Amino acid sequence: MTGPGDGVTGPGDGVTRPGDGVTDPGDGVTDPGDGGTPPELPRHGLGTAPIAGLYEAVGEEQARATIDAAWSHGVRLFDTAPHYGLGLSERRLGAALAGRTGYVLSTKVGRLLRPSGRAGRPGARDDQGFDVPADHERVWDFSRDGVRRSLEDSLARLGLPRVDIALIHDPDDHMEEALARAYPALAELREQGVVGAIGVGMNQWRAPLRFVQETGIDVVMLAGRYTVIDQSGLPLLDACLERGVRVLAAGVFNSGLLATSPPSGTFDYRPAPAAVLERARRVAAVCEAHGVALPQAAMAFPLRHPAIASVVVGARSPEEVAANAALQRRPVPADLWAELEAEGLLPQSEKA
C-alpha cells in the first residue's frame, strides 16, 4: 500500500515521454524499447465517468472545474475509459491535464468507438447511461489489433504519447479472448514502454482472479466488491496480495447507496433490496455513533486491506470533489471498525 504522503509520482512515473508510440516496428509507430515502468499509486483518485455525462449531461466548464478542483486538492490519479461518454471523458481529461506532470493516468481497452448510424438523427442520444450525442457506437474487440487500435485512439483523444495504466475493461462475456489475445497485446505494449502497467477492470471478482492466477498483470480495478456492505471480493484481494498485484478500489459507494447518510439510492445500479438497505442503515448508525459519516467510512474502508493501493471516486462538480476530499482527510477511529466487526457487519478477519 502506498504511504499517506503519496500523491505525486517519482521521476519517470506518471509523466509522458515524447516519442513513445503504440505499434510495433513495421506498422508505423515508434518502439521506445525501454519497457514499461509501473507507476507508484496515489491513495486517492478521480473517476471521470461523471464528467462525461453519466446519467446527466455536464458542461465543459463544469467538467474542467471538477478536474482542476481535484488537482488543487492533491489528486494525482485519474481514471478514464473510451466507454465514458463515447470518448468525452478522455478528451476532457486530456485537455485539463495538458502541460501538467507528476500524475498517474489509467484508461481502458475492449470497446472500440466507431461512427454511429444514428449520428445524423436529430436528438439521438447514447443509450448506455451517458447523456451525450450518439455520434459513435461501442464495438467489443479484445483482439490484438483491437487492443492496439483502442489504445492508439485513446492516446489521440488524451493528447498523450503513453499512459501509465491500461486496463482490460469488462471482459465478462469475452474471457477467453481477453486472456488469449488482449492480455498478450497489452503485455507487448508494456514491454515497449507505451504503457507502464497493465491489468483488468471489472465489477466482479471471479474473472479478475483468473487474470491474477493465469497472467502477469500488474493492477486490478475492482468496482463495488470490497465495500463496507459487500466484501465478496476478498478472495481476489488475498490472491493479489500474495502475487504482488496492486488493487484500485472503485465503486466504493456501491453506485450510490453509501454516498449519503442516511443511506439512500441504488445498489449496483438498481433499487437497493430491503435486506441490503437495512444492512447499510445499521452500518450508518454505528458510524454516526463514532462521529463518522457513512461516505467517509465507505472511502476509508478499502484501504484497510494491504492489497489495495488506491481508492478511486467519481465526481461531477468541484463541490463533490471538495466534499470527498474533506471526508478523506478526517481520520476514522479504530473503534468504529471493531464495533462493526462485533455487530457482524464486517468479517472478524478484517484488521487495521
Known catalytic residues are 84
| DSSP category for residue 262 | S
| DSSP category for residue 201 | E
Cα torsion 138, 142, 147, 151: sign: positive
CA distances from 211 to 29, 205, 327 (A): 28, 10, 33
- Residue located via cell numbers 474473472: 207
d(CA 95, CA 83): 18
Cα atoms in the 13 Å half-sphere on the side-chain side of 15: 10
Cα torsion 22, 36, 247, 88: sign: negative
CA distances from 178 to 169, 187, 214 (A): 10, 12, 12
Q: Cis check for the bond before 184: say yes or no (omega within 30 of 0).
A: no
DSSP-derived secondary structure for 80-125? --TTTTTTHHHHHHHHHHTT--S-EEEEEESEEEEE-TTTTSTT-B
One-letter amino acid for residue 311 of the chain = V
